[in-house]
Amino acid sequence: MVLFTRQNRQSTRRIHEGHIINLRMDTVRTPDGHEATREVVEHNGGVVIASLTAEQKVILVKQYRYSIDRDLLELPAGRIEANEDPFPAARREFTEETGYFAHQWKELSRFYSAPGFCDEILYMYLATDLEMREKKLDFDEETEVVEISLAEGWEMVMDGRIQDAKTIAGLGLIQAHLQQST
C-alpha cells in the first residue's frame, strides 16, 4: 500500500533554490486523512564514468569532498546541466576530471542516489578505448587520477578505503560487464 503519492500532495513550499540543488517541503495527506511533510532535494541528475584502460585498470579520482571534510576515492562523475543530455555530460566530465578521452561508450545503468529524500538520478557509463589528453578541471576542483585493478578496487571497498556508493556500484557493474563479455 502506498501512503504518500504526489496525488496526495496538499501543498508545496520552496525553501531554497540554488546552483546545484533546490529544496522543497511538501505537505501530503494519507488515505486515512493524516497530514505529513516530505522534504525533497531536487537535482538535475548526474553522470558516473566507469572506465577501463587497455591494461584493464579502473580509473578513479581522489578528491576532497567539502560536505564530509575529507578526500574520497571515486569514479569520475559530475552534474548534468539543466536540459543537458547525460551522454555529452559524461564525455565532458570524464575528460575534465581525468584528462582521458574515451572512444567507446556504453550506458551500464541508471539509478537513484538517495531516493528517500532526493530525486537525483545517476547515469552510469562504461568508457573504454582511452586516449590521454588534458585535464580541464573547473576552477574549484582538484583531482588526483588513480589507476587500480578491479581486484584492488574490491579490496579497497572491503577495507573501507572506498566508501562512495556510486563507485561501489560502478565496480560491480564493471565486473558484471566483464563477466558477460567473456
Cα–Cα distance measured from residue 88 to residue 38, given in angstroms and rounded to the nearest whole number: 33
| Stretch (H or E) spanning 46 | strand 46-51
Single pTM value for the model: 0.90
pLDDT, mean of residues 81-106: 96
DSSP 8-state code for residue 32 = T
Q: Active-site residue 42, yes or no? A: no
pLDDT score at 1: 55
User: Which of 17, 39, 107, 142 is flagged as catalytic?
Assistant: 142
Are 49 and 42 a contacting pair, CB within 8 Å?
no
pLDDT score at 182: 76
pLDDT score at 50: 98
pLDDT score at 130: 97
pLDDT score at 33: 84
Kindly report, residue by residue over 59-75, the tens digit of the pLDDT.
Answer: 999 999 999 999 999 99
Are 23 and 40 a contacting pair, CB within 8 Å?
yes
Kindly report, residue by residue over 10-37, the tens digit of the pLDDT.
Answer: 899 999 999 999 999 999 888 888 888 9
Cell of 66: 567539502
Secondary structure of residue 19 in the 3-state scheme:
coil
Other CB atoms within 10 A of residue 164 CB: 17
Are 62 and 72 a contacting pair, CB within 8 Å?
yes
Q: Give Dmax over CA atoms of the chain in angstroms.
A: 60
Closest to 11 (Cα-Cα) out of 22, 33, 27? 27
Cα–Cα distance measured from residue 105 to residue 134, given in angstroms and rounded to the nearest whole number: 19
pLDDT score at 41: 95
